[in-house]
């Protein structure tokens, strides 16, 4: 299924997680590529050409499922925003400034810089390829659409878009179409369990499967989500502007 006229669809893992819980394999991606789009440079390039074009895959298993959700850039733009709000530096190899020079300062990104594709300066062809695939497969929804709206575009295009492609794509697969679905879920569960038994690397407590960090964070944040003071001030200003009630909050300990 391709979705037309869609912008930000939230965390992709929400969709693949639901599919896996229903016993289905799911692949979801949302992407855009072309001049004037996104905040990511193509591998070997200097100008922005791609959105962060995430992919998510959910696979059901007996006892546990795998849910992968990740951008095709070194970091998602939200991570840069959080670092900026905290006054912190980014890890090396995530962004370049407006001149294409590597930087760790979030302000350089908002000053005309760009995100690097997954793999960075050495292996960014991997992220570039995945990002392009996301945009081109998502563009299935543009085939018969006279006025497409691309994810990440500032305005809706008038007529066919030259050099630009993108959209939302979702595929759901029923394992039963290939044979015994219960046997498949058992095989997946056994493989995931074997991955958990791999000895952890030095400094690590355990091997975390795709989706486990989000599950742990969800459990830890059940009593509240910590936000930087800068972000909270922005939320307060927005709430006042739109006369919206703020959620219950308390100062961080």
pLDDT of residue 155 exceeding 70: no
Quick check: is 33 in a domain?
A: yes
Report the percentage of the chain scoring pLDDT > 70: 95
Residue 52, CA distances (Å) to 46, 55, 73, 109 in order: 16, 10, 5, 14
Residue 7, CA distances (Å) to 10, 48, 130, 154, 238 in order: 9, 18, 19, 10, 21
Cβ contact 33:164 at 8 Å? yes
Q: 91 in helix, strand or coil?
A: coil
pLDDT of residue 158 exceeding 70: no
Range of the domain at 30: 2-242
Split into its structural domains, the chain has a count of 1
pTM comes to: 0.86
pLDDT of residue 33 exceeding 90: yes
Quick check: is 114 in a domain?
A: yes
pLDDT (0 to 100) of residue 156: 45
Quick check: is 251 in a domain?
A: no
pLDDT of residue 131 exceeding 80: yes
Q: Can you list the positions of beta strands (E) in 97-218?
A: 102-103, 114-115, 165-173
Q: 250 in helix, strand or coil?
A: coil
Comparing 174 with 218, the larger pLDDT belongs to 174
- CATH number of the domain that 99 lies in? 3.30.1370.60
By the 10 Å C-beta count (0-12 exposed, 13-18 middle, 19+ buried), 189 is classed as: middle
pLDDT (0 to 100) of residue 250: 81
Cα separation, 138 vs 148, in Å, equals 12
**Average pLDDT score over the chain:** 91
């Amino acid at each position: 299924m391709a979705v037309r006229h869609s912008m930000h669809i939230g965390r992709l893992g929400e969709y693949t997680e639901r599919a896996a819980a229903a016993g289905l394999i799911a692949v979801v991606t949302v992407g855009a590529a072309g001049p004037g789009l996104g905040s990511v440079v193509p591998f070997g390039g200097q100008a922005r050409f791609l959105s962060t074009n995430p992919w998510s895959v959910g696979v059901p298993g007996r006892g546990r499922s795998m849910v992968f959700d990740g951008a095709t850039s070194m970091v998602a733009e939200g991570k840069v925003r959080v670092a900026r709000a905290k006054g912190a530096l980014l890890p090396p190899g995530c962004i370049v400034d407006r001149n294409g020079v590597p930087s760790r300062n979030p302000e350089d990104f908002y000053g005309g810089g760009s995100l690097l594709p997954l793999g960075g300066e050495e292996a960014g062809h991997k992220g570039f390829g995945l990002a392009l695939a996301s945009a081109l497969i998502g563009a299935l929804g543009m085939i018969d659409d006279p006025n497409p709206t691309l994810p990440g575009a500032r305005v809706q295009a008038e007529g066919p878009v030259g050099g630009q492609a993108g959209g939302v794509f979702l595929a759901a697969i029923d394992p039963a179409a290939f044979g015994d679905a219960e046997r498949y879920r058992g095989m997946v569960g056994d493989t995931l369990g074997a991955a958990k038994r791999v000895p952890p690397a030095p400094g690590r407590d355990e091997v975390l499967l795709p989706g486990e960090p989000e599950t742990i964070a969800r459990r830890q944040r059940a009593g509240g989500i910590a936000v930087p003071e800068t972000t909270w001030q922005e939320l307060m200003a927005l709430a006042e502007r739109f006369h919206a009630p703020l959620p219950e909050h308390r100062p961080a300990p």
